[in-house]
Structure 1
Amino acid sequence: MTATSTPPADAGLRRGVMGSTELFAQAIANIAPSAVIAFTAAAIYLSAGKGTWLSFLLATIIILAVGYSILQFAKRRASAGSLYNYAAIGLGPVGAYVTGVTLVIGCFCIAAASLSGSVSYTMLTLTQIGVPLEGLVAQIVVAAVLGGLAVFFTIRGIRISARVSFVLELLSIGIIVLLFVLTLGYLGPAAWDPSQFDLSQTSFSGVAAGMVLAILGFVGFSSADALGREAKNPFRAIPRAIMWSALGVGVLYIFGAYTQVAALGDGLGASASPLDEIAVLIGMPSWFNPILNAGVAASFFAVVVAPLNVIGRILYVMGKEGVVDGRLGRTHDRFQTPHRALLISGAAVVLVPAVFYLVGVDPISVLVWVNTFGTYGYMVAYAVIAIASIVYVRRLGVTNRLLPVAVIVAVGGMAYVFWSNIVPVPAFPFNIIPWLFALLFGLTMVWYLYLARRRPEVVKAIGTTETDLLEGVG
């Protein structure tokens, strides 16, 4: 074989370029709390009523339990494959594969849904400043432009994509927190709303139904774990980014839910744009609303970028192992990012909302429907990784009395939230979304069975590459 016929060595992922701040930025950008606050509290209010804050509180507890389970791996191993690699350590190839595919499904749907959210709020912002955009063509063009920018940032480099997302998210959070503080000041003594704590008037089934959207507000909180090969001091920085981002965002959600209910009351459930209504209620100047909505659009854009980073790295690892096409398991010669995986997944992320728009679905409905679908993917991945963590820790011979409690909370919480969203049967399309997810998951398992039968060497290697082990620890 001649030298020219030998394929060039893969450049691999860039090592040690992500500091603690940038890892935290990746986590916050993937969560996109500003976007969640902008529309989720109103949606949860429809089922949870004045217990909306409680839906967020219980979701925060469940997510912290999941985070503690992930922590058992993150403080000992650094990986580019995120939970995919972690699950392999505890549950072997099947656990790794299930975790990997459900996490990819979750990340992909959250990115596609958030792109639609960014389209909606971008068009609203432009209209408010005198550049009216409406109609099918405008929706598709804006989706293509925003999706193209997201792919550009992710391919250009993990540091620049994390920084851009974090700056956009910080600006948006700052604007929204300012609005909430001014709102409480405007309400005066009425800012104290004891009716929100009178749980005798709150249906727990309603609170549980709201928890699926509340958990949706956290999905991707562990995304820093996909940057184990690119992080500085990953064994300390990644666990901190995971836990502090979940806790900080949970507090922000509870505060935001309380304030919106105190300001709008029962009108929150009927509000299409609660933040705009609150701004008008407290007499904010007319120029504030476009700034507010631009911040929400930026927040949604940030959560397009961050999940794409995770998808790219999981597919990169899967490509190296032969689970998917091997050409995805290569990085860009210059930028050292998984550019092929990012290009393909980015194009598909744009295609999803575009197809919905073509059949007449509005951007906000696309946001809610596709987000809900993706949440089921995250819930499966989180439940599996929690189970894997307890197997892993016991195999190490480490005593950890808190971990079984965390696993029970994580797995039990996910199972209960799933059950409460299929019984009683919800209205269309939410009645079919869980089963569509189950169908897609079943199809991915057919591929696993094919690999197990025809390419057992691939199955044996699942979740075993691109992982560093902390010396001296299990």
Structure 2
Amino acid sequence: MRRRLGTGDAVTVGLGAMLGAGVFAAFGPAARSARELLPVALGIAAVVAYCNATSSARLAARHPQSGGTYVYGRERLGPFWGYLAGWTFVVGKTASCAAMAMTFAAYVAPGWERPAGMAAVLVLTWLNWQGVQRSAAVSRVIVAIVLAVLLAVVVAALAGPGHPDAAPASVAAPTPGGVLQAAGLLFFAFAGYARIATLGEEVRDPARTIPRAVTIALGAVLLTYAAVCFALLAALGPGGLAASATPVADAAAASGASWLVPVVRAAAALAALGALLALILGVSRTALAMARDGFLPRRLAAVHPRHQVPHVAELAVGLIVVALVATVDLRGAIGFSSFGVLLYYAIANAAALTLSRVVPITGLVGCLVLAFALPWRSVLTGAAVVLAGALAYALTRRGGDRPER
């Protein structure tokens, strides 16, 4: 594919993926597990994300191809590990696409979530079809708006009167396991930097651009999340934050800036669209790489002659997400998505062990600990889907349909 994206475009794609609906919703569930130790959980998630980002950036510089950890696992560990990384990414992030679509619809069309979510997926799939540069341009606008709204809420919350913590009786004191579970939930909001690595064939000078873009995007998001975390605790208190389904909007209201509430809701919907845009982009590129190797139908490897994008893979991903939005309640699938993302990065760190030691080992252990600290239903569901993917790989190999390289 054509190399059109510079560092600024790649950073924008990463920010658009990370500054999605997670920042507007993830702090509440995480606070129920960690309460006043929420900043500690955020710090743990950030350390694991940093290790993953560093490993991914080093690998992307060595292997500047579409597919991200699918390619790294295949090249550094062997075909099975590359396939498993691609499987966990495609399945988990396809579920995330549907969740982002329904989050958007819940803010803009309550009562009509499914048709509105389906329409959003179709429009963004068409936009991605038009070319990756247009997708990056839209992400740039969305990121600017979301950052401005979050900054306004942070200023209002820190300047406001503060909120005495009135913890519900059902909220238990934080435990080490609860802090790790909160870190696993918050890690989900960091995971978008992988979208930068999946664009390996579409950035200029990838050996230099991708590591720089990953570092800049992750640093900017960490600073943003830290500011939002302390602002939410100041405005709502640990108990109020734990009980809130819309913590950023509630923090604006508690700070006396009620005029910000509808703005926050609009920004949350826009952020969900930005995350959905980047997710479709990343999933389709990983599907492209797996199709090239024969692990998915080879038709998905087609590249549009004019727009230079994997249009068949994008259309397939879009239609699957539309079907999920139309038929499935995905709240339970979010836990599986987190489980899949952490396993995906565990494989990335294992692949990076062929290049260095300390950072990849820290990232690998951190990913596995956070994955198995998630709620047990999420762990069981995720493990079942991963095992199904491994079985499919074994059957494909036994049947003689070996990927061509």
TM-score by length of 1: 0.80
2:137 is aligned to: 163
1:207 shift after superposition:
0.8
Matched, 1:439 2:384: yes
Matched, 1:299 2:299: no
Amino acid aligned to 2:279: P
Counterpart-to-counterpart distance in 2, 1:285 and 1:205? 36
1:246 is aligned to: 218
Q: Aligned to 1:346, which of 318, 321, 329?
A: 318
Q: Spell out the pairing of 1:85-100 with structure 2 (5 A cutoff).
A: 85-100=71-86
2:122 is aligned to: 148
1:169 and 1:295 in contact (8 A); partners too? no
Q: Deviations over 1:354-381 (max 9, x none)?
A: 213xxxx5xxxx3x43322111111111
Counterpart-to-counterpart distance in 2, 1:437 and 1:186? 42
Counterpart-to-counterpart distance in 1, 2:248 and 2:190? 20
Counterpart-to-counterpart distance in 2, 1:120 and 1:38? 13
Q: Aligned to 2:11, which of 12, 20, 24?
A: 24
Residues 372 and 169 of structure 1: is their aligned pair in 2 closer, same or farther, counting only changes over 3 Å? farther
Residues 28 and 262 of structure 1: is their aligned pair in 2 closer, same or farther, counting only changes over 3 Å? same
1:456 shift after superposition:
5.7
Amino acid aligned to 1:448: Y
Counterpart-to-counterpart distance in 2, 1:103 and 1:373? 11
1:372 is aligned to: 335
Matched, 1:82 2:82: no
2:358 is aligned to: 405
Counterpart-to-counterpart distance in 2, 1:377 and 1:258? 29
1:175 shift after superposition:
0.7
Q: Spell out the pairing of 1:29-428 with structure 2 (5 A cutoff).
A: 29-33=16-20, 35-123=21-109, 134-135=110-111, 138-187=112-161, 202-265=174-237, 266-286=239-259, 288-356=260-328, 366=330, 368-391=331-354, 393=355, 403-421=356-374
Q: Deviations over 1:413-442 (max 9, x none)?
A: 122122323xxxxxxxx5323222222222
1:46 shift after superposition:
0.4
Amino acid aligned to 1:436: T
Q: Identity of counterpart residues, as a percentage?
A: 23
Counterpart-to-counterpart distance in 2, 1:113 and 1:97? 24
Structure 1 portions without partners, runs of 5+: 1-12, 124-133, 194-200, 394-402, 422-429, 462-474
2:170 is aligned to: none
Counterpart-to-counterpart distance in 2, 1:281 and 1:435? 39
Bigger radius of gyration = 1
1:119 shift after superposition:
1.0
Task: Spell out structure 1 runs of 4+ moving beyond 4 A.
Answer: none
1:25 and 1:166 in contact (8 A); partners too? yes
Counterpart-to-counterpart distance in 2, 1:47 and 1:16? 44
Counterpart-to-counterpart distance in 1, 2:398 and 2:70? 21
1:236 shift after superposition:
0.8
Give the secondary structure class of the aligned counterpart of 2:64. strand
**Greater mean alpha carbon deviation, residues 50-59 or residues 448-457:** 448-457
1:59 shift after superposition:
0.4
Counterpart-to-counterpart distance in 2, 1:455 and 1:26? 39
1:186 shift after superposition:
2.1
Counterpart-to-counterpart distance in 2, 1:317 and 1:455? 20
**Greater mean alpha carbon deviation, residues 53-62 or residues 220-229:** 220-229
Counterpart-to-counterpart distance in 2, 1:95 and 1:272? 38
Q: Deviations over 1:139-184 (max 9, x none)?
A: 2220121111110111111111122123112201211111111221
Q: Deviations over 1:96-134 (max 9, x none)?
A: 1111111112321221111111111122xxxxxxxxxx4
Counterpart-to-counterpart distance in 1, 2:22 and 2:201? 29
1:27 and 1:222 in contact (8 A); partners too? yes
Give the secondary structure class of the aligned counterpart of 1:387. helix
1:216 and 1:372 in contact (8 A); partners too? no
1:276 shift after superposition:
2.2
* Number of residue pairs aligned between Structure 1 and Structure 2: 397
2:372 and 2:379 in contact (8 A); partners too? no
Amino acid aligned to 1:277: D
Counterpart-to-counterpart distance in 1, 2:307 and 2:200? 17
Counterpart-to-counterpart distance in 2, 1:202 and 1:315? 40
1:292 shift after superposition:
1.5
1:76 shift after superposition:
2.4
Q: Aligned to 2:394, which of 449, 458, 465?
A: 449
Counterpart-to-counterpart distance in 1, 2:253 and 2:382? 40
Residues 285 and 214 of structure 1: is their aligned pair in 2 closer, same or farther, counting only changes over 3 Å? closer
Amino acid aligned to 1:452: R
1:235 shift after superposition:
0.9
